Amino acid sequence: MDPLGRAMIFPQENSVWKFIKYVMLGQYQDLQVQTRLFSEETKAQMVMFNGSTDAMRGSISASTRAFEASFTNMKDSLWLARDTARLTVFNTYSRKRDELITGLSAQGVDTSIAQKISDQIAAERSDLKTALFTKQDGAIQNVNSGLKDLNRQFRDIIQGYRTDRKIQVDKSAIMAIPD
């Protein structure tokens, strides 16, 4: 039974219930403290503005506008950082594609098809840059979709080149074995 004579659902008060009561009581006390501090701060601000709510509203509006402007600048800088990072990744992969094609060509592999696809991917850079800097999510998705398909084709062709090269090397090794 509780102090009012009502039957309690959980008659034994275990440590979990004690903790919940402690937290809830603490939150209630914290709310009282915060309410008192807010009231005191408001009174102090009213004194600072000579009791003029209009002056206080003007000050609050100015502070809010300054915060919103800084938030907008931060959002723009984050977007710019994302754009720059995306173009840096694009440039890195372009360089790696070129190195891969050069390496295969040096081994005597005809890389003309891979080079054409690599050139198509490189041509997408200007579209990607435009889409990023105009902040058009739909355009970015379209460019990324096209790049994904081209990159898959490139990987498949390179895998085919490597498989063919391995077969040629194995065939040469077999042919070099004396009878």
pLDDT at 14: 59
Per-residue model confidence as pLDDT tens digits over 61-77: 777 777 666 555 555 55
Q: Residue 62 has what pLDDT?
A: 75
Task: Give the pLDDT of residue 122.
Answer: 93
In a domain, residue 55? The reply is yes
CA distances from 156 to 10, 128, 161 (A): 66, 23, 9
pTM for this predicted structure:
0.51
Exposed/middle/buried for residue 166 (C-beta within 10 Å: 0-12, 13-18, 19+): exposed
pLDDT tens, residue by residue, 135-153? 778 888 898 889 999 999 9
Q: How far apart are CA 105 and CA 78, in angstroms?
A: 41
Mean pLDDT of the chain: 77
Q: How many domains does the chain have?
A: 1
Which residues, at least 6 apart from 32, have a Cβ–Cβ distance to it below 8 Å? none
Assess if residue 18 is contained within a domain.
no
Residue 49 counted as domain residue: yes
Q: Which residue has the higher pLDDT, 93 or 60?
A: 93
d(CA 13, CA 88): 61
Residue 66 lies in a domain: yes
pLDDT value of position 75: 53
The H-or-E segment that residue 13 falls in is: none
| Domain encompassing residue 122 | 43-173
Quote the CA–CA distance of 139 and 137 in Å, as a whole number. 5
Half-sphere exposure of 49 (CA within 13 A, CB side): 15
C-alpha distances out from residue 145 to 117, 119, 128, Å: 15, 17, 11
Residue 27 lies in a domain: no
Residue 140 and residue 128 in contact, taking contact as beta carbons nearer than 8 Å: yes
Whether residue 15 lies inside any domain: the answer is no
Q: What is the pLDDT of residues 34-62, one digit of tens each?
A: 888 888 887 777 777 777 777 777 777 77
**138-to-29, 83, 84, 129, 145 alpha-carbon distances in Å:** 50, 15, 18, 13, 11
Query: How far is 171 from 87, CA to CA, in rounded Å?
Result: 42
Residue 30 falls inside a structural domain: no
pLDDT at residue number 117: 93
Domain annotation covers residue 2: no
Whether 109 and 161 have beta carbons less than 8 Å apart is answered as: yes
